[in-house]
Structure 1
């Protein structure tokens, strides 16, 4: 039951080229920075990433993206990452943009063993009708790969679109506290997509800011039970404190 690994490098050592990854975080909040850096050092490439966004230039998933190690992204928005936008528009990266709530539910559904579900989000748009540019032709301009149309069905007089649950080979997440059995507690907004990404991964690796012994977490305080987590990495104090802000706003 002891799921703790000695290092982040050990925890990500078996992630192969072409693996699919669900990665927690929103902007730069709750991002598993240490695991991402370890994966960068490990060298895996051709990765298919499912994450709300792809970090920013030089932080989070932006590190892997800048190194050309990500082949496909399923996410909600491009965000503050200029390199993400450049690769997408240049035809170097395949991107499946998905409504944010739909993405969250696709991850949750996959983790709960639900293959698909209907939602009204996206009805009447290219999300349902198809035609969203997944990949542009090299050099940009024309669309090389477009999203296919999705099945729609009417419930109570309202149309809904069929969306498929997401499961991935691995998941990388960050938690505030965790125990050796893999039970996790997330702190405030840093929870964001982390519990959902953890559920979707077949092998979930969690970096935790504070590691406690079994019994150190009150059962009612656990946000994600250890059944969803296979490996734990305890962060150092410096690693746990290394948190960046996308935009700092101050009064004049």
Structure 2
């Protein structure tokens, strides 16, 4: 995949991995559009990066996704890359009655949104000489952590969906990538931290993004990054090891 001369839509682009991709693609010479729910962050990023195009959108809502796609296609018809990055990571204790709104929000954001957005752009992308869909899954797609089962299941779904999409688009100009991060030092997973602004540690974003961009550049279509490589290669063995190490108390009726 060429890293320059693209117009890229990145969901969940106001922080973490999404923002890192945005900054790297802009530095490589691509136009970048990011969307996110937090207007104050979008405004701050517009001031920091005047060349960055921003749009308020909650990808967990179908009407927002439709409006986003219509706006992008009308105002930036040169768009040729969709990076499905927005994600929610919550704790879920399935041994007690779950809060369905939390489960539904996680599934809608992590699975339904990439399906829907991809479908809204696919026919446009096949008209381009070069185009790509980049799905962000997770190392936990291959070896889940049992205390966040819905998140891990959604990322396993993203992996499966990416395989199917790649097959469906195999005779077109559209390349389909899956980037599977390890734990990366971002805000993701704040649901289980008392200080919601605290990151959870893990791979430094700068190290993750360098490896991820290199994978895209070299057309590595299924790209586990860092420790996710081990989760991808040794799934069942590492499942037992990981879940014996991580057995947190799961809160009941824990609000997001």
Calculate the TM-score normalised by the size of structure 2: 0.32
Between Structure 1 and Structure 2, which shows a larger proportion of strand residues? 1
Calculate the TM-score normalised by the size of structure 1: 0.33
Larger Rg: 1
Flag the structure with more relative contact order, 1 or 2, with Cα contacts below 8 A and sequence separation at least 6: 1
Between Structure 1 and Structure 2, which shows a larger proportion of helix residues? 2
